[in-house]
């Protein structure tokens, strides 16, 4: 593989994110460990969305639904485990678990079929209709969550104890960060594989010219549907980690603002670029914490930055530094 400027930047970003919590601890600023973890988790969710949005051109304005499903998976499992209740009593009994791996599995296993149903309907539309219909589905799930008193309703669901991980004390912030960072790296690796694969070729062609794809005999619909489902599952995994980080599964994870935030992250970082979501999440969390500390109206500045990126740097941060992407 040729060592391009993009690879260099990706390496630097990965190293920076990894170094951040260690530096924070060395400077006795443990809060920054949490920030770094937040960056990693948001980046993970955005890597998921980047698959649909960046590669497939599917502007899903409803990925908060999957992020939230992941969060609630972690929250509900933890609540049941704490109260020693089984997770299901019918048609067969399933014990709950405080294992993080179980929560991840549930998050992925639930979000997959939900995404399949939402995608199967939404992907019959395109453009602005697709944006609106994905938003509508996510809002349905949001209102379902806040009207479901068994799991906190509007108050959300606190998680008394962060999920456990074999051989790791997840209550230690640095350990939890490393888990999130590890998952992010695996997700990036998968993203890179998928992008370079036959499936990735078909998915990117569907974005560039769906008539061309159909004319060579590949139906765009199934390709997009599979991408949408994988994308949702990655977002759900991130949601599960996010709830564990905050020890709280909040309905706001399901809200449309969250969906918007994920889109903003990708646009900031670079749509369709491997490390776009990482760059975007790092910048976003940084802006949020630095400017958020100075003024309550930090989102105004975020808006200005976003405007600048959209007007002058379409390729986002990665595009700005590494230039246009090449497809070989």
Does residue 208 touch another protein according to CB under 8 A?
A: yes
Of 50-58, 152-160, 193-201, 275-283: span binding another protein (CB under 8 A): 193-201
The CB-of-25 to another protein minimum distance in angstroms stands at 37
Task: Evaluate whether 50 touches 187 at the Cβ level (below 8 Å).
Answer: no
Show contacts with another protein in window 73-132 (CB under 8 A): none
Question: Binding another protein by CB under 8 A: which of 209, 297, 314, 323?
Answer: 209
Of 168-176, 215-223, 235-243, 314-322: span binding another protein (CB under 8 A): 215-223
Question: Which tokens in the block code for residue 180?
Answer: 């999130």
Does residue 194 touch another protein according to CB under 8 A?
A: yes
Of 20-28, 140-148, 213-221, 299-307: span binding another protein (CB under 8 A): 213-221
Task: Evaluate whether 191 touches 274 at the Cβ level (below 8 Å).
Answer: yes
Query: From residue 222 to residue 251, what is the string marking binding to another protein with x (rule CB under 8 A)?
Result: xx--x-------------------------
Closer residue to another protein in complex, CB, 162/195: 195
The CB-of-273 to another protein minimum distance in angstroms stands at 13
Closer residue to another protein in complex, CB, 212/314: 212
The CB-of-210 to another protein minimum distance in angstroms stands at 10
Task: Evaluate whether 9 touches 322 at the Cβ level (below 8 Å).
Answer: yes
**Binding footprint of another protein, residue count (CB under 8 A):** 28
The CB-of-217 to another protein minimum distance in angstroms stands at 3
Of 269, 278, 262, 72, nearest to 156 (Cα)?
A: 72
Of 52-60, 73-81, 207-215, 296-304: span binding another protein (CB under 8 A): 207-215
Does residue 328 touch another protein according to CB under 8 A?
A: yes
Does residue 189 touch another protein according to CB under 8 A?
A: no
Task: Evaluate whether 260 touches 65 at the Cβ level (below 8 Å).
Answer: no
Task: Please give the angle made by the CA atoms of 77, 240 and 245, to the nearest 5 degrees.
Answer: 100
d(CA 328, CA 326): 6
Query: From residue 148 to residue 187, what is the string marking binding to another protein with x (rule CB under 8 A)?
Result: ----------------------------------------
Neighbouring residues of 16: CB distance < 8 A, sequence distance ≥ 6: 282
Question: Binding another protein by CB under 8 A: which of 216, 293, 296, 312?
Answer: 216
d(CA 9, CA 15): 10
Task: Evaluate whether 280 touches 17 at the Cβ level (below 8 Å).
Answer: no
Closer residue to another protein in complex, CB, 73/213: 213
Question: Which tokens in the block code for residue 279?
Answer: 């760059």
Question: Which tokens in the block code for residue 106?
Answer: 């549930």
Show contacts with another protein in window 56-75 (CB under 8 A): none
| Residue ranges in contact with another protein by CB under 8 A | 193-194, 196-202, 204-205, 208-209, 211-220, 222-223, 226, 327-328
């Amino acid at each position: 593989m040729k060592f391009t400027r993009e690879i260099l930047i990706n390496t630097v970003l990965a190293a920076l994110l990894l170094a951040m919590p260690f530096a924070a601890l060395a400077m006795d600023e443990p809060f920054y460990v949490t920030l770094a973890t937040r960056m990693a988790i948001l980046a993970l969710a955005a890597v998921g969305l980047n698959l649909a949005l960046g590669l497939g051109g599917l502007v899903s304005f409803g990925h908060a639904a999957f992020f939230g499903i992941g969060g609630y998976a972690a929250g509900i499992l933890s609540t049941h485990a704490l109260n020693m209740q089984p997770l299901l009593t019918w048609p067969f009994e399933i014990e709950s678990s405080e294992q993080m791996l179980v929560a991840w599995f549930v998050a992925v296993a639930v979000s997959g079929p939900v995404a399949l149903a939402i995608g199967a309907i939404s992907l019959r539309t395109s453009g602005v209709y697709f944006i609106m219909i994905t938003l509508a589905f996510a809002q349905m799930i949001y209102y379902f969550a806040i009207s479901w008193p068994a799991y906190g309703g509007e108050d959300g669901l606190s998680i008394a104890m962060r999920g456990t991980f074999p051989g790791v004390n997840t209550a230690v912030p640095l350990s939890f960060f490393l888990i999130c960072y590890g998952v992010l790296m695996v997700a990036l690796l998968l993203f890179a594989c998928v992008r370079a694969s036959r499936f990735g070729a078909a998915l990117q062609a569907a974005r560039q010219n769906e008539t061309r794809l159909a004319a060579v005999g590949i139906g765009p619909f199934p390709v997009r549907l599979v991408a949408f489902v994988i994308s949702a599952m990655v977002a759900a995994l991130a949601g599960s980690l996010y709830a564990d980080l905050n020890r709280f599964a909040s309905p706001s994870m399901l809200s449309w603002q969250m969906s918007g935030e994920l889109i903003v992250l990708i646009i900031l970082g670079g749509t369709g670029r491997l490390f776009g979501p990482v760059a975007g999440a790092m910048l976003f969390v940084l802006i949020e914490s630095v400017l958020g500390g100075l003024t309550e109206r930090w989102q105004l500045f975020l808006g200005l930055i976003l405007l600048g990126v959209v007007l002058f740097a379409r390729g986002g941060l990665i595009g700005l530094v590494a230039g246009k992407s090449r497809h070989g």
